[in-house]
Amino acid sequence: MIRIAIIIGSTRPGRKGETVAKWVYEIAQKRSDAEFEVVDIKDYNLPLLDEPMSPMLGQYTHQHTKTWSAKIASFDAYVFVTPEYNHGTSGALKNAIDFLYNEWINKAAGFVGYGGASGTRAVENLRLVMGELQVADVKAQVGLSLFNDFEDFSVFKPAPQQEKSVNTMLDQVIAWDCGGFFHAASTRRRAKPGRHLDNR
């Protein structure tokens, strides 16, 4: 069974991201075609990138990087739950992504964006990043609007059709990952840690 991380992409006090990610997780839990786990980047206390070597080399010097690496390497695919900050994703999520390299590659990803404009530009920003990391990002995406999916811009009340859009996105992530290549590549990498570059 493939394992999918639902990654909370915001860290600020009072963030909406945690509620949104937990809603995605509840929908995902009704499925039987993958295993899901919420991963909160806040729990990893990552500073601004402080590794001396390129993450491509996987030569991590700090325990926080090693812990983050082990967690991300343990998944076959990712759902990024991203806020939109100034037409991009959050600095915290981009920083957490930048810490690693081989842990991400040859896997699949989907997105749940939220914000005043439904997080659309944050997801577009992440798609560029995914290209460099060789992550296959699916077309279907979830866009949650502060105007339509939150009461008074604060209480999360997703419109009824949003559950279907989460499942459509998950269908695509799971289909891509079960297609063989991505799953085989990530399983191979887990079996041979330290030989990541051979598998690109």
Ligand X SMILES: Cc1cc2nc3c(=O)[nH]c(=O)nc-3n(C[C@H](O)[C@H](O)[C@H](O)COP(=O)(O)O)c2cc1C
The residues that touch ligand X, with contacts defined as CB under 6 A, are: 10, 12, 15-17, 83-87, 115-117
Q: How far is the CB of 149 from ligand X (least distance, A)?
A: 11
- For residue 45 the two structure tokens come to 């206390």
Q: How far is the CB of 13 from ligand X (least distance, A)?
A: 9
Q: Do residues 111 and 169 make contact, with C-beta atoms less than 8 angstroms apart?
A: yes
Pairing of strands 107-115, 150-151: unpaired
- For residue 36 the two structure tokens come to 């899901």
- For residue 18 the two structure tokens come to 């945690």
Pairing of strands 3-8, 35-40: parallel
Q: How far apart are CA 195 and CA 22, in angstroms?
A: 34
Cite the beta strand spans of 9-47 per DSSP E: 35-40
Nearer to ligand X, 122 or 135 (CB): 122
Q: Do residues 95 and 11 make contact, with C-beta atoms less than 8 angstroms apart?
A: no
Nearer to ligand X, 58 or 119 (CB): 119
Q: How far is the CB of 112 from ligand X (least distance, A)?
A: 11
Nearer to ligand X, 151 or 198 (CB): 151
Q: How far is the CB of 20 from ligand X (least distance, A)?
A: 7
Nearer to ligand X, 87 or 200 (CB): 87
Composition of the chain by helix, strand, coil, percent to 5: 40, 20, 35
Nearer to ligand X, 20 or 185 (CB): 20
Q: Which residues pair with 79 in a beta bridge?
A: 6, 110
Q: How far is the CB of 11 from ligand X (least distance, A)?
A: 8
Nearer to ligand X, 58 or 88 (CB): 88
Q: How far is the CB of 8 from ligand X (least distance, A)?
A: 8
- For residue 64 the two structure tokens come to 């926080």
